[in-house]
A and B are shown apart, each in its own frame.
Chain A
Amino acid sequence: MRGLSTKSDFSLFLGCLIPNRLPEIEKSTRLVCERLGINLHDMKGASCCPAPGVMKSFDKALWLKIAGRNLDIAANMGMDIITLCNGCYGTLKDASMELKDDPELQEVVRASLSTIDRDLGKIVDVYHFVEYLYFDYGLDDLSDHITKKLDYKVAAHYGCHLLKPIKYRRTKDFDAPTFFDELIELTGSTSVDYVEKNTCCGAGGGLRSGLKDVALDIARKKVASIKDANMIVTPCPFCHMQLAQVSNIPVVYYSQLLALSMGFSEEEVGMAVGK
């Protein structure tokens, strides 16, 4: 069920890695959304979501308060949030659901936000971009915009927080989901199966920042099982960065793939700029 948003207007939550490391993801998403009639509005003054792996591990209350501030920015805009990152989605979606479910927790967060003249407003809903495309925008409407059939062989990587915890996710099938494969195949590409398809990339939970060798071992195991693909496609900049570090084939964000199938050039979607 839709929340506050009018039809296609959303608060765009950028996070950290996309604007500050992989801006080609921001660029390609802005391009495709303009074409699709999805109006993305900047959340002025938004911060880190904050990073679930570190902040939630250290101090859950602080994690909720900073997330609450970001939710309040969107509430003041009167629009639900679209995120482009599984980590930001994990934080903002889970924080939004936990706060809606728990009035006492809400009071704690409201009390903290009152010191900076903020509230929480009406707690907004949070969507991951690819979730919104599949479940709300719809494959039929999306296919109307696809003008160039691609024929890539794609290794799809969902990432963990797009799918779990399932109590806060719309699809309950975390073992063999298909919606991201369907979005990929809509572009004319083939989503090829591989043994470690549903394995974690290894970056989350603070593992990449804290114990990188272990994190990369997990990624290597995953990537080594990809046999017959020309690219990995992800819905997450953190998984993206992690897999790109150990992969011999390009790692592409979903918006870039979609943009190519809408006729945008590789240069326009930043594929010449960053790996």
Chain B
Amino acid sequence: MNKDVRSCMKCGSCTASCPSGRVVAFRTRKLVEDRAIGEIDYDDLSLWYCTTCFNCMERCPRGIDITDEILKIREEAYRKGKVLEPHRAVLRYIYRSGHAVPINPEVREKRMALGLSELPPTTHTFEEALLEVRRIMEDEGIEYKE
């Protein structure tokens, strides 16, 4: 099966399967078409409407890995610095705590009330483990000093 985006026959199964396409003007088929002709608009917010549900990819009669392609387009956007601030914040949280969603005082209490350890046995407990995660990110040029 031809997985090239240029094999798209514009049937629209992808757009019809898209959960975001039902609530906002995100047209998966248009994105595939733009990709095929090499005209991606990296400033277009709709690049970030995809929930990565994989419906389009699983249903594509041409077998195009559409979700994977959208992720590649997003990687290109990231390299051009076209990133939403809340997404950059997630990277920052991971760099600083090892977690995309770090613990807070309220949940520490909740954990103890449930009889769990105050902190989970993750990078939250092991400082050297956090340094390992930071090292991997720093090797990719990502660093967020306190």
Enumerate B93-146 residues with CB–CB distance to A below 8 Å. Answer: 94, 98-104, 107, 110-111, 113-116, 120-126, 128-130, 132-133, 135-137, 139-140, 142
Assess whether B4 is interfacial by the CB under 8 Å rule: no
Assess whether B115 is in contact with A54, with CB atoms less than 8 Å apart.
Answer: no
Taking a contact as CB atoms under 8 Å apart, the answer to whether A58 and B78 are in contact is yes
* A207 in contact with B133 (CB, 8 Å): no
Q: Which residues of B contact A200 (CB under 8 A)?
A: 19, 51, 53, 55
Which stretch (A2-10, A44-52, A121-129, A182-190) binds chain B? Answer: A44-52
Q: Which residues of A contact B5 (CB under 8 A)?
A: none
Give the distance in Å from the alpha carbon of A112 to the alpha carbon of B140 in the complex: 10
CB contact between B78 and one of A26, A57, A66, A174 (< 8 Å): that residue: A57
Interface size class for chain B? 35 or more
Of the listed residues B22, B121, B135, the one surrounded by the most CB atoms of chain A closer than 10 A to its CB is B121
B72 CB to nearest A CB, Å: 8
B86 at the interface (CB under 8 A from A): yes
Indicate if B16 sits at the interface (CB-CB under 8 A).
no
Contact of B120 among A14, A24, A66 (CB under 8 A): A14
Q: List residues of chain B with CB under 8 Å of any chain A CB.
A: 19-20, 22-24, 45, 48-55, 57-58, 67, 71-72, 74-75, 78, 83-84, 86-87, 89-91, 94, 98-104, 107, 110-111, 113-116, 120-126, 128-130, 132-133, 135-137, 139-140, 142
A19-B122, A46-B129 given; name 9 further pairs at CB < 8 Å. A16-B99, A47-B98, A47-B99, A54-B90, A58-B78, A205-B52, A206-B87, A211-B49, A217-B24
